[in-house]
Amino acid sequence: MNERWGVGLSLFAPGGVGDSFASDSPQRYLVEDWNMFYISLSPAVGYRWNEELSLGAAVNLNYVSLNYDSAVFNGPGEPDGSLELRADDLSIGFQLGLLYELSPRTRVGLGYRFEGGAEPSGEPDFSGLTPAREAVLEAAGLLNQEIDFETTFPQLLGAGVYHEFGDGYSTTADLAWMDFSEFGLSEIAIGDSSIETREQRLDDVWFFAASLAKRLDEKWTAMIGAMYLTSGVSDENRTFTFRMDEIWGVGIGAEYDWTDRLTFGCNLNYYFLGDAPVETDVPLLGPLRGEFTDREALSVDLTLSWGF
């Protein structure tokens, strides 16, 4: 806007988290398919305090949508019924940040996101129940029971440094802590005459990342990077709904400056997601345990940055 003030708007849509299982696997009675989609629209304002220090603040307008499907045990020798749940909610959050320029080539940043929350709720939709199973659930008042999920977006504190070397090289390093133990995520368990929402027992997480970039010419920049995220849940508390383990990642990318104000980027990332062992109980059936033997992922990120 001028030499002191700036405004911005970002749309953050990570796509959410989720999982699905084979229709004949035992854990289908806990969860067969689920996903939580999260999107945030963030208007922001920045103020340049002096030549070295800049301050920023943003409001996060969050939308969360939860879809949850599981099989319902109808009894020995009977085909399964099913449960479908669709729930969503809106919430508001806040962020603060600062940027300090140690020199024209070196700057450090610090950002803090306040804890926020959403309460998606919905009525389960049952199908394929036997008359006997339907009668039991109806007598218990479960067929039209409103199910609430208290979803917490945990506070986050992050710091980063950027430095330019000679010959077009630059590097970044980032460290972040998230109060992940406050993240609200529930698992639905359908018993004989009750629907239980089990709260996950999670741990705080730490995130580390570093990158190296090379300016190839006036238009092109090439990049490589690596990251590590600690596990958000211990082995004894992991469930089939949320099978997070530690994550390692490496990536390569490139940016192209179409104009002085318009930049395109593309990144290819590889992640190793850990074996995530699980041991839990399935209602009416008993204990269940397992782990992954192959758990990897690839992602392609496309970015577009422009200024006015």
The predicted-structure confidence for 170-181, as pLDDT tens digits, reads as follows 999 999 999 877
Over the chain, what is the mean pLDDT?
Answer: 84
Residue appearing with tokens 């299982």 = 21
Give, rounded to a whole angstrom, the gap between the first and last alpha carbons of the chain.
Answer: 9
Cα separation, 166 vs 214, in Å, equals 10
Give residue-wise pLDDT tens across range 131-169.
Answer: 888 887 777 777 777 777 667 778 899 999 999 998 899
In total, the chain counts a number of residues equal to 308
Closest CA to 223 of 164, 167, 170, 176: 170
CB atoms within 10 A of CB 167: 6
In the block, which residue shows the tokens 């986050």? 156
Q: How confident is the model at residue 123 (pLDDT cuts 50, 70, 90)?
A: confident
Expressed as residue numbers, the domain containing 255 is 5-306
For residue 190, the domain's CATH number is 2.40.160.60
The percentage of the chain sitting over the pLDDT mark of 90, rounded to a whole number, equals 38
pTM for the predicted model, two decimal places: 0.73
Q: How many domains does the chain contain in total?
A: 1
Residue of 63, 71, 14, 65 lying closest to 240 (CA atoms): 71
Pick from 266, 268, 255: nearest CA to 298: 268
Contact yes or no for 164/191 (Cβ under 8 A): no
